[in-house]
Structure formats: structure tokens, C-alpha cells
Amino acid sequence: MTPAIFGLSGLVLSAEERAFFREADPAGYIIFGRNVENREQLRALTDSLRAIHGRDRLLITIDQEGGRVQRMKPPVWNAYPPGAAFDRLYDIAPASAIEAARANAEALAMDLAEVGITCTHAPVLDVRVEGAHDVIGDRALGHEPMRVAALGRAVLEGLARAGVAGTVKHMPGHGRSACDTHKELPTVTESADLLEIDIAPFRALNDAPSAMTGHLKFTAWDSENPATQSPTIIREIIRGKIGFDGLLMSDDLDMEALSGTVPDRAARALAAGCDIALNCWARMEDMVGICESVPAMSEKTAARLDRALSFTRLDGATGDQAALIAKRDALLALTGEAA
């Protein structure tokens, strides 16, 4: 098995993709807006991926956070609020905010499970920092690490209730970024002591099924390499201080924060200690290059992948989605703002 997650080019698999994926046997796939039309089409697409591999338990992922990061959109699917909505409610009613976040995540996950998606890249555990770039912004669950952790735990629980695995992101913290990692590499110069704030939510949720790294350089830990490609950060901070032993994937390797070819970026990420290289844009040349540049999946990564998939199921969620959304909206209404 190739330790990579690959993107898809369109609404259905091309013959070239079908043949390549059968040969490459990647760890999983990621769905984007270009792959989404309606329920029937999307379920057929994910079923075609399972058919290639001959197994129902397959890592099929998506960035479905709510707010501005939502690949499955209205009017076909429900709209979901950003993390900041639950942060505002926490100011006045912490227990209600936790329950609202849990109900929201379960409802969101029911949309995913219905179309055969088994993992969403959420919750965002980056602690929001005033004055930082808005690349995180209202996606964050708050400015205070234990609040972020409490709400993040509720999100993971809600997702799991509907049979969907969550991915905590972006280890070891993206909240201090001064620029957008899609465009350039941020350098964070704060002290290791201050960065304890950033890693605290990840440490509290270190039993999450999977996690995603961030493409940021932290001079306190490694002045040369971004976290995704830093053996020091992955070994000493993510696996060490944070204590995360789940499936660790890179953020998208096509982002301009990283240098070199996409296959080179993948090889460096895996050599640094990432389990999985995430390559989103379905360029066949890049995907073939990754397969040629990285080793086969290790036994340790395979075990972590299996544990992450143990959270998933496709037998249909038993909750009442409309009731969950009504509960969320009634709780969020306590802030006096619309959900």
C-alpha cells in the first residue's frame, strides 16, 4: 500500500485513474468541490473507490468543517456554522456550547456517512491568536486552549456517533501564522514556553483517530524545516510532548509553503515521520512521482490506519438529523445571533 492520500479529477473516475489507483493502492482519497454534484453521484463515486480495493473500510476524506471550509454545500446539503459560533456560546454557557458542537458534528457526519465518506479533516484545534493571518480566523474554536480542547472533544464525539473519523489539525499549531500557507511559508519565532499554549489542545486530544501537520516553521524547535518535514518536530513535539500516536498525515503537499517538486515534498514528509502524504490536486504526474519516491507503507503506519478506520462505519447513522440541527440552533440562539 502506498502511504498517500490522493485527489480525484472529477465527478467520476477516469479509466486512467481507475487503473492507477488499482496499481498504486493508496491509503485513501480526498474529496473536493470538483468531485461533488449530488448525493447519488457522490455515493456512486465513493462506492467506485471501494470497488477498486474490494473493501468497505476505506479512508475517504474531505475538508468539511463548516463555515467557509465546506466542500458539500447548500442547497444539496446543510450549511454548518464555523468554529467561532461555538466559541461565542461558550462565553455565556460552556456546557451548552459543548452540546451544540457535539450535535452539529453528528449532523454533519450523517451527511458524510450517507455518501460513503469516512473521515473529515476536523476539528480545527489551532488556538486563535489576535493579529495573526485570517487563514485560521473564525475556523478556530477559541483563543483559550482548554476551551478549544473541550469543544474539539465534542466534535470528535459527534463525528464518531455517526461513524466518521475526525482529523485534528494543524499540529503543532497554526494559530500564530502571519501568512497563508497556501501561498508562502510562515515562520513562528515565539519561545518554546509560549508555544505550550498552541500544543495544549492537541495534547488533550492526543487519542484522536488522525491528525494533520501544518506547513509552518517554528524557530524554537527547528529553524530549518517546516513542521511537516521536520524530524525534530514530529519526533520530539508531536509524538513526544503532545503524545500523539495516531495516523499522522501531512497538510496538502501542493501548498506553496513547501519547496521542491511534489514527489520530493512527499518523500521529505514521510522521512521526517509523517505516516501519510496528502496530495490533493489529482495531477497524474505528481501521483505517479509520489509512488516512485516513497517507500511502501510500514507496519506501524498500517496499524495506525487500521485504528483510524475502526471509528468508521457505513451502516447508516441512527440519529435524527433534523432534531440534532434544531438542538444546535436553539443552543446557538442563546447568543442572540443566528447560527
Q: How confident is the model at residue 316 (pLDDT cuts 50, 70, 90)?
A: low
CATH 3.20.20.300 fits 2-41+54-285+298-333, yes or no: yes
Please answer whether residues 123 and 172 qualify as being in contact, where contact means their C-beta atoms are separated by less than 8 angstroms.
no
- The mean per-residue pLDDT over the stretch 233-261 comes to 96
* Lowest-pLDDT range of 138-152, 205-219, 234-248, 311-325: 311-325
Q: What are the extents of the domains in the chain?
A: 2-41+54-285+298-333
Cα of 89 vs its chain's centroid, Å: 24
pLDDT single digits (tens) 99-112: 999 999 999 999 99
By percentage, how much of the chain surpasses pLDDT 70?
Answer: 99
The catalytic residue positions are 182, 251
User: How far is it, in rounded angstroms, from Cα 222 to Cα 53?
Assistant: 39
Instruction: Give the contacts of 77 (CB within 8 A, at least 6 positions apart).
Output: 111
Considering only CA atoms, which of 155, 179, 182, 149 is closest in space to residue 167?
155
Mean per-residue pLDDT for 63-80? 96
The reported pLDDT for the residue numbered 182 is: 87
Distances (CA, A) of 79 to 61, 72, 138: 18, 9, 15
Residue 314 has pLDDT above 80, yes or no: no
And the C-alpha cell for 135? Answer: 487563514
Task: Please state, in angstroms and rounded to a whole number, the distance separating the CA atoms of residues 329 and 331.
Answer: 5
SS3 state of residue 58 = coil
Span 100-145, pLDDT tens digits: 999 999 999 999 999 999 999 999 999 999 888 888 999 999 999 9
Which residues face 60 on adjacent strands? 29
Which amino acid, 136? I
Q: For residue 238, give the C-alpha cell.
A: 508531536
Of 271, 326, 283, whose CA–CA distance to 107 is shortest? 326
Q: What Rg value do the Cα atoms of the chain yield, rounded?
A: 19
Q: Which helix (H) or strand (E) holds 222?
A: strand 222-226
The whole-number average pLDDT for the span 285-296 is 97
Residue holding cell 438529523?
321
**pLDDT over 90 at 32, yes or no:** yes
Residue 339, pLDDT above cutoff 60: no
pLDDT tens-digit map of 156-202? 999 999 999 999 999 999 999 888 788 889 899 999 999 999 999 99
Mean pLDDT of the chain: 95
End-to-end CA distance of the chain: 42
> Given this model, what pLDDT does residue 132 score?
84
Q: Which contacts qualify for 71-74: CB closer than 8 Å, 24 or more apart?
A: 71/31, 71/32, 71/33, 71/35, 71/36, 72/36, 72/42, 72/111, 72/112, 72/115, 73/33, 73/36
